[in-house]
Structure 1
Amino acid sequence: MEHKSYRAMRELNMDATTTRHHRSLELNEMDEFHNESNENAKIYKDHTKAWHDKNLVHKEFQLGQRVLLFNSRLKLFLGKLKSRRSGPFTMVKVFPYGAMELQGKGQETFRVNGQRVKPYMGGPIDPVKTIIQLQPL
């Protein structure tokens, strides 16, 4: 019986100095693995940012240009065919950091974030032609 227990202790390596050395090696390996995974995550983030920045389209606007305004309130109750943009509006003034002052049909002006506007590429909007009445069969 003593022989079996001695053999089991030998297989399990119950020597404290050897176990301590083995444990410190494992901790060092885990630190290296952690550092390597952090480096890989940083490389992935850099590549993703470069891809995203490459696909961004820079919009340039001039004073007097007509733009469409994104209506964020329509997001909540949006129908399938409703437009998310309203306008066109005329750009009156550009402020620092991308803010813009727009003018509607009247003389009143309002400020909006420049990220909410999009250049208007169409001609004049005729509200009579845009309404389509469907007749039931």
Structure 2
Amino acid sequence: MTALTFAPPRPLWLILPAAGALAWNIFGLIRFADSLTQTPESLMAQGLTEAQALLYAGLPGWMTLAFALGTGLGTLGGLLLLLRRSTATWVLAVSLAAYIALFTGDLAHGVFDGMPAQLAILVVVVAIAAALFALSLVARNRGILR
């Protein structure tokens, strides 16, 4: 005879943000993929000034890695939340840390001075990553994640 195990229901307060997180981070992956082929010329064609394009194109490689980790692990974390896996918490924690590193890099390299809109974008990105991490902690503490 096998024992039946009870899996808690998937509450909407978890599923809706997790689905949103998955969509948001897939958009981030698309933006990341686009960033890999950008040149100063292509950036200027998108509306950046020459100084902004050169600043953006000259950022160090570790910032590209931070962007990749933030979006890639954010996507995986959203999927893990939908699947109710407790590993979502750790994955989303690393995604948040990567976005904080990206924010710090933009600050240190003067990106916010040269492109003030980037500050607003990254504040929103970090806030969403922090909210998803917090959501995973709440779900974990309530026994929703396994």
TM-score (normalised: structure 1): 0.21
The structure with the greater share of residues assigned to strand is 1
